[in-house]
A and B are shown apart, each in its own frame.
Chain A
Amino acid sequence: MSATANKKAGFGSVLWDYLTTVDHKKIAILYLFGGFFFFILGGLEAMLVRIQLIQPDNNFVSAQFYNELMTMHGTTMIFLAAMPLLFALMNIAMPLQIGARDVAFPFVNALGFWLFLVGGIVVNISWFTGGAPDAGWTAYTPLSIFSESHGLDYYSIGLQIAGFGTLMGGINFLVTVITMRTPGMTMMRMPLFSWTTFIASVLILFAFPALTVGLFLLTFDRLFGANFFDPSMGGNVIIWEHLFWIFGHPEVYILILPAFGVFSEVISTFSKKRLFGYSSMVFATVLIAFLGFMVWAHHMFTVGLGPIANSIFAIATMAIAVPTGIKIFNWLFTMWGGTLRFNSPMLFALGFIPSFTIGGMTGVMLGAAAADFQYHDTYFVVAHFHYVIVGGTVFGIFAGLIYWWPKMFGKVLNETMNHWFFWLFFIGFHLTFFLQHFLGLMGMPRRYWVFLEGQGLDLFNLISTIGAFFMAAGTILFIYNMIWTALKAPQAPADPWDGRTLEWAIASPPPFYNFKQLPLVRGLDPLWIEKTEGNGKMQPAEPLGDVHMPNNSFIPFVMSVGLGIAGIGIIYQVDNPMWWIVAAIGFIIFFGSMAVRSLKDDLGYHIHKEDFEKEGDGSNG
């Protein structure tokens, strides 16, 4: 059981422990390494793209390979890096913040992770089997229908599998927040990060089905002779754009809201102040999520929806700036009057504010439908969404990782290296993307394999590529820091940052059962309340008793692998029907393990009261 993992164990048993774990803290670590692996991969793809664009008429990579690179860069970064890294943060922090011993469905949590990993691997296998997807991460039909290699099949099947995982994760977090808050933890006392996890999960619940449907239709068009998107057979290519963006726009908020949550925690902690305007922050989060579903067509202003639709979507889009502005000002006034400490998570938060404000400004500019006729599909858009996704989400992920690193690994990352990392990454980021706004307006459309000489685009592209190397250097330093910290850093205290929320009331890393006794929450920032009004320790909300824990299980891993095998079989059955056998084997593994899980009772086990008493005092540490 998980308890054994706390002892020094051999590599084999650690591996087995992680393959079978259902503990949200270990799943967070799995998400972290899975997501970070893909982050590096997507980063390498980005570097190749930037090297290709270092000078006009460059021939560093071929047109076809370039298209595969830029498609996979987008796909990898959105689906396989940003999402799982956020899931890592949600998994490590949210259950601790609401005072839960785990998520509501630990088994499903593990299944979600393995599905994501298998899906991600399936998409990337395409590199070695005759060509990766090459129709852009948006896979617009009919280009994606006409694409000849199996790349797009890998894309649709792989993302479908990873998407199942994400959907499960989202539902799991929803149920966890609704049902598993500790006594006293009312909704309006929840830390902002838990709130944004909750809202992002709502978005996942409603947005991912649109992607599922879209990918399903795409799969049928490509593999089973359907004609949903083939114009020559009466299909309609615009339907794909709608389905994709009905998913795709909320996806943007799925990515940014948790980052907002991280910044709310970080800014509040390192300013030593409670979050300014907590209820309006919650309200703004909900409003952004709500409006986020009504603006998808602003990705389609030039499609020809007509001026009426364009105007409506333009105004709805601009309206989102209002709740976002509320958030920016609330953060600024959280800092106002506080005492600011510039630890590295705070640096990322401070770097985020101007970067994201620029991203928001260009967002409103893009929302002006008429002006979007010029911006659309140019480097202006590329610059905009990198300002939002890197300046918002990625900064948020790094802030969150550094902030909660002690909760994951029991060590604090080296601060000096993190400062260097921040400055390299921050400067590199602005060097890379700021001038791209101008490149777009100067006439450079996005997804261009080469740009011609004599168009006045040379200098800014060169600077942009130089900036990318700064970001790469920063990331390498961060990886070095991870290794250095694991080997050399001392054990972290329970509360290294002078925290305010429940996760800082227990040891770093927390014991596998999190809370010996569920803590009693007396208000917002519960630990801070106990620090200033009590004895600095959480009071228990229940007497010491037996704790029910789930058993580890190998089934999520087996199920996911089975689905991956089935996916590969489905992809290749168009070439040779014998591949149906592979698909059948995959489905047998998948449904077989599902049946085992359903038919065999697995009631978990109890940690007995006596075992706790043996361990020592009754504090929640």
Chain B
Amino acid sequence: MKGLTSKFKAVGALMTLALILSGCGEEFLSALRPQGQGASDILSLMILSIAVMMFVFVVVMVIYVFVILKFRQKKGQEDFIPEQVEGSHTLETLWTVVPIFLILILAVPTVQYTFSLVDTSPQVSAEGEEDQIWINVTGKQYWWHFEYDGMDVTTSQELYIPTDRRVFLSLHSEDVIHSFWVPTLQGKIDVNPTGNRNEIWIDAEKEGVYWGKCAEFCGPSHSLMDFKVVAVSPGEFEQWVKDMRNIDPEATPESEVAAAGQEVFANNCMSCHANGTSPNKIGPNVSNFGDRERIAGVLEYNKENLIEWIETKGKDMKPGNLMTSAAYDLSDEELEQVAEYLMSLSPSEITPENANDNEYIESDLSDLFVDEEKDESSQEKSEEESEEDSEEDSDSN
């Protein structure tokens, strides 16, 4: 039973290790500091596997150190011939059978989580099936687009989700393979341009802005394809959705400069960049550009960066991005105006700031789902899409 005690010791040591690990990295980015169910489940599996593996490692190292110290050739031993042992059935059986058991210990939760992490069927409680929030995620070189299924909301780069419930994602790519990864919330899943449309859920246990990354190599600006997940309380989320679906892209901004910018935007940018709910996703949707945390996902949010981006089309700020093929040519004044306009776009009172305050507004979001049933057109749209999904799913199977 000596092995067992040392194993318990190893587990104890690992609890300490887990504590140390939790100091590793930033709260908004590190997989070792989970903020959602998915990442927590995975971390527990990691810790179990580290525990099992550390047990093996310690056994190996103890024998290793002992052997090196004990059996090194000593002076005067040059002619000594050690016994030529062929092997030992007992020992060899031991180190075949024990690892098999260790692997079984690891295999059971592995299989369990492998299924649960991608299980996107609705959770059933006493009140019946839950209403699911489905978001269609599109990955493009080098930005992300989000369409809230049945809610008539589209946005890019920053994904707003309510806390304390699962949000379901259906992902596909319009060019090369990307991978959607929010380390603090869930493991990653590939975003494929063909075949299967992958599905996964994410959830956040508390409010916050969590960083997302593209994890599948996708070209020169792969390392700059960041996005954010803005987790706000359910009530705030409900408010956000209502604000976002009621955007009037025609509304004239208050400041004159911004109003002039709106004109410039309409003449030069609108064919690719939509404001408000729109199927247009040639370039990122700018509906709530004024509330963004970052410009183009990575740059610090300020006017200088924005103007430089629009002027250079991000040529050096995000190498290889597809905006460089846009044909516009703006004067300095126009650049100033359009930047002012974009930064004035703040249709909702819910912004990333709400994710960082301590205000928590309750809601069961039932309003959002009631609307969905009323809203015939979006209902149809979602049906179409789910048909497409199931077709593709059966293909991939």
Interface residues of A (CB under 8 A from B): 62-64, 67, 134-136, 140, 142-143, 146, 231, 235-238, 271-274, 276-280, 302-304, 306-307, 310-311, 314-315, 318-319, 321-322, 325-326, 328-330, 332-333, 335-342, 350, 353-354, 357-358, 361-362, 364-365, 367-374, 376-378, 438, 441-443, 445-452, 454-457, 532
Establish whether residues B82 and A339, one from each chain, have CB atoms under 8 Å apart when the complex forms.
yes
Tell which of B100-108, B284-292, B306-314 binds the partner: B100-108
Which residues of A sit under 8 angstroms from B96, Cβ to Cβ? 322, 325-326
B279, chain A: closest CB distance, angstroms? 19
Given A279-B87, A455-B29: A143 in contact with B176 (beta carbons within 8 A): yes
Establish whether residues A443 and B29, one from each chain, have CB atoms under 8 Å apart when the complex forms.
yes
Q: List 19 A-B contacts (CB under 8 A).
A: A146-B175, A237-B193, A277-B87, A304-B198, A306-B118, A310-B114, A314-B114, A332-B60, A335-B67, A339-B71, A339-B72, A370-B45, A370-B109, A372-B187, A443-B31, A451-B223, A455-B29, A456-B26, A457-B25
From B72, B81, B216, B226, A342 is in contact (CB under 8 Å) with B72
The verdict on B190 contacting chain A, using a C-beta distance below 8 Å, is yes
Residue of A with least CB distance to B397: A306
The verdict on B92 contacting chain A, using a C-beta distance below 8 Å, is yes
> What number of A-B contacts does a CB cutoff of 8 Å give?
291
Interface residues of B (CB under 8 A from A): 21, 24-26, 29-32, 38-39, 41-43, 45-46, 49-50, 52-54, 56-57, 60-61, 63-64, 67-68, 71-74, 77, 80-88, 91-92, 95-96, 99-100, 103, 106-107, 109-119, 175-177, 179, 181, 183, 186-190, 192-196, 198, 211, 213-224, 226, 298, 319-320, 396-397
Cβ-closest 8 pairs across A and B: A373-B187, A442-B25, A370-B113, A231-B194, A448-B223, A443-B29, A277-B87, A63-B220
Which residues of A sit under 8 angstroms from B217, Cβ to Cβ? 135-136, 140, 143, 377, 446-447
Which residues of B sit under 8 angstroms from A438, Cβ to Cβ? 24-25
Among B87, B192, B195, B214, chain A packs the most CB atoms within 10 A around the CB of B87
Which residues of A sit under 8 angstroms from B32, Cβ to Cβ? 441-442
From B117, B226, B396, A370 is in contact (CB under 8 Å) with B117
Given A376-B215, A443-B213: A237 in contact with B195 (beta carbons within 8 A): yes
Establish whether residues B222 and A448, one from each chain, have CB atoms under 8 Å apart when the complex forms.
yes
Establish whether residues A336 and B67, one from each chain, have CB atoms under 8 Å apart when the complex forms.
yes
Establish whether residues B24 and A338, one from each chain, have CB atoms under 8 Å apart when the complex forms.
no
Establish whether residues A337 and B110, one from each chain, have CB atoms under 8 Å apart when the complex forms.
no
Q: A361-B54, A377-B216, A441-B21 are in contact. List 5 more A-B contacts (CB 8 A).
A: A277-B87, A330-B87, A340-B73, A370-B113, A373-B38
A72, chain B: closest CB distance, angstroms? 14
Which residues of B sit under 8 angstroms from A335, Cβ to Cβ? 67-68, 71
Which residues of A sit under 8 angstroms from B188, Cβ to Cβ? 302, 373-374, 376-377
Establish whether residues A358 and B57, one from each chain, have CB atoms under 8 Å apart when the complex forms.
yes
Which residues of A sit under 8 angstroms from B186, Cβ to Cβ? 373
Which residues of A sit under 8 angstroms from B81, Cβ to Cβ? 272, 532
State the main secondary structure of chain A at its contact with B: helix
Which residues of A sit under 8 angstroms from B194, Cβ to Cβ? 231, 235-238
CA distance A374 to B221 in the complex (A): 21
B295, chain A: closest CB distance, angstroms? 13
Given A311-B115, A368-B106: A62 in contact with B42 (beta carbons within 8 A): no
Given A337-B83, A441-B32, A456-B26: A314 in contact with B110 (beta carbons within 8 A): yes
Establish whether residues A304 and B24, one from each chain, have CB atoms under 8 Å apart when the complex forms.
no
CA distance A455 to B213 in the complex (A): 12
Establish whether residues B187 and A449, one from each chain, have CB atoms under 8 Å apart when the complex forms.
no
Which residues of A sit under 8 angstroms from B183, Cβ to Cβ? 374, 441, 443
Establish whether residues A371 and B49, one from each chain, have CB atoms under 8 Å apart when the complex forms.
yes
Which residues of B sit under 8 angstroms from A277, Cβ to Cβ? 86-88, 92
Which residues of A sit under 8 angstroms from B43, Cβ to Cβ? 374
CA distance A236 to B392 in the complex (A): 12
Establish whether residues B46 and A337, one from each chain, have CB atoms under 8 Å apart when the complex forms.
no
From B107, B112, B224, A315 is in contact (CB under 8 Å) with B107
B264, chain A: closest CB distance, angstroms? 30
Establish whether residues B103 and A319, one from each chain, have CB atoms under 8 Å apart when the complex forms.
yes
CA distance A402 to B116 in the complex (A): 51
Establish whether residues B192 and A326, one from each chain, have CB atoms under 8 Å apart when the complex forms.
no
Residue of B with least CB distance to A71: B217
Establish whether residues A318 and B106, one from each chain, have CB atoms under 8 Å apart when the complex forms.
yes
Establish whether residues B60 and A357, one from each chain, have CB atoms under 8 Å apart when the complex forms.
yes
Given A236-B195, A307-B118: A374 in contact with B190 (beta carbons within 8 A): no
Which residues of B sit under 8 angstroms from A358, Cβ to Cβ? 57
B367, chain A: closest CB distance, angstroms? 33
From B26, B86, B196, B320, A63 is in contact (CB under 8 Å) with B320
Which residues of A sit under 8 angstroms from B110, Cβ to Cβ? 311, 314-315, 318, 367-371
Which residues of A sit under 8 angstroms from B195, Cβ to Cβ? 236-238
Establish whether residues A326 and B114, one from each chain, have CB atoms under 8 Å apart when the complex forms.
no
A248, chain B: closest CB distance, angstroms? 15
CA distance A103 to B176 in the complex (A): 46
CA distance A274 to B50 in the complex (A): 34
Which residues of A sit under 8 angstroms from B117, Cβ to Cβ? 370, 373
Residue of A with least CB distance to B83: A337
Establish whether residues B46 and A374, one from each chain, have CB atoms under 8 Å apart when the complex forms.
yes
From A278, A314, A341, A447, B87 is in contact (CB under 8 Å) with A278
A461, chain B: closest CB distance, angstroms? 13
Establish whether residues A64 and B190, one from each chain, have CB atoms under 8 Å apart when the complex forms.
no
Establish whether residues B100 and A341, one from each chain, have CB atoms under 8 Å apart when the complex forms.
no
B78, chain A: closest CB distance, angstroms? 8
From A64, A326, A340, A367, B320 is in contact (CB under 8 Å) with A64
Given A342-B72, A370-B41, A373-B117: A318 in contact with B107 (beta carbons within 8 A): yes
Establish whether residues A332 and B63, one from each chain, have CB atoms under 8 Å apart when the complex forms.
yes
B79, chain A: closest CB distance, angstroms? 10
Establish whether residues B67 and A364, one from each chain, have CB atoms under 8 Å apart when the complex forms.
no
Establish whether residues B86 and A274, one from each chain, have CB atoms under 8 Å apart when the complex forms.
yes
CA distance A127 to B110 in the complex (A): 44
Establish whether residues A304 and B189, one from each chain, have CB atoms under 8 Å apart when the complex forms.
yes
A367, chain B: closest CB distance, angstroms? 8
CA distance A304 to B39 in the complex (A): 18
CA distance A370 to B188 in the complex (A): 10
Residue of B with least CB distance to A270: B73
Establish whether residues B198 and A237, one from each chain, have CB atoms under 8 Å apart when the complex forms.
no
Residue of A with least CB distance to B38: A373
Given A314-B110, A361-B53: A442 in contact with B73 (beta carbons within 8 A): no
CA distance A14 to B219 in the complex (A): 46
B203, chain A: closest CB distance, angstroms? 15
Which residues of A sit under 8 angstroms from B60, Cβ to Cβ? 328-329, 332, 353-354, 357
CA distance A442 to B223 in the complex (A): 15
Which residues of B sit under 8 angstroms from A140, Cβ to Cβ? 176-177, 216-217
Given A304-B396, A364-B49, A365-B46: A274 in contact with B84 (beta carbons within 8 A): yes
